[in-house]
Amino acid sequence: MRLAKYLARAGVASRRAAAEIVRAGRVRVDGQIERDPAREIDAQRVELDGSVIAGPEEPVVYALNKPLGVVSTARDSHGRRTVVELIERDSRRLYPVGRLDAQTTGLILLTNDGELANLLLHPRYEVSKTYRATVGGGPVKRAALVALREGIELDDGRTAPARARLLAPQVIEIELREGRKRQVRRMCEAVGHPVSALERTRFGSLELGDLAPGAYRRLTDDELAALRAQARR
């Protein structure tokens, strides 16, 4: 197994991030600094920043309904509660697949499988995410929905076309296949409807369903296979 994949399977980071960690000289193999992410690893001793990496863990993916105010990181320097802390009785090194800002609720995945996380987040594979946005600015008109569907010019470029439909006079469902920072909020703001509440309801084929805020469950083998298939299509 190549070194970057070994680190990703051990829950250190995604394979891409693991490769950068290796190139930065933070990894030792049998006591020697190794900068080649493609180095084949068998039974050697691997260390990251002086700590021994125990080796690949059993891959696991959880679906979590992120509550309001919880941050989508493995740890937080300001002492805020993180999504990882909500997963109890699992000592594996988990981290979130992508991020939801603190004021956004809903479906987020946590895993120790860096390879899968990279597949799900890579722009090439366009794995969709669906959100329910409650907005201000009065009832949403057809022109705003058309603009969202055609793409919005933001300060970091034009967005890709989105699927958008009205669930209630001031509730929009938006499906995206890209993942810019605070994208749904910025898109709605641009069409005159600032977001007052935002929930992610779907990640690829996986639905939030009836998970209560703060609750989580482990994905089934069939669900994992479906996610992998979408990321590789």
Residue 86 predicted with pLDDT over 70: yes
CATH of the domain at 104: 3.30.70.580
Question: In the chain, how many domains are there?
Answer: 3
Same domain? For 10 and 108 the reply is no
Domain that holds residue 42: 3-52
Could you tell me the pLDDT band of residue 5, with boundaries at 50, 70 and 90? confident
Contact 116, 228 (CB under 8 A): yes
Q: What is the mean pLDDT of residues 47-58?
A: 85
Same domain? For 119 and 226 the reply is yes
Q: What is the mean pLDDT of residues 126-152?
A: 96
Which tens digit of pLDDT belongs to each residue from 212-230?
Answer: 999 999 999 999 888 888 8
Active site residue 42: no
CATH of the domain at 148: 3.30.70.1560
Same domain? For 67 and 97 the reply is yes
Which tens digit of pLDDT belongs to each residue from 63-85?
Answer: 999 999 999 988 888 888 999 99
Query: Average pLDDT over the chain, rounded to whole?
Result: 91
Q: What are the structure tokens assigned to 96, written together?
A: 């979130």
* Active-site residue, selected from the candidate residues 42, 76, 90, 101: 101
Task: Tally Cβ neighbours within 10 Å of residue 200.
Answer: 20
- Cα 194 to its chain centre, rounded Å, is 24
Question: Residue 2 to residues 15, 31, 37, 112, 231: CA-CA distances in angstroms?
Answer: 10, 17, 7, 17, 21
| Helix-strand-coil split of the chain, %, nearest 5 | 25, 30, 45
Alpha helices in the chain (DSSP H): 3-9, 15-23, 114-121, 142-150, 183-190, 221-232
Could you tell me the pLDDT band of residue 233, with boundaries at 50, 70 and 90? low
Terminal-to-terminal C-alpha distance of the chain: 24
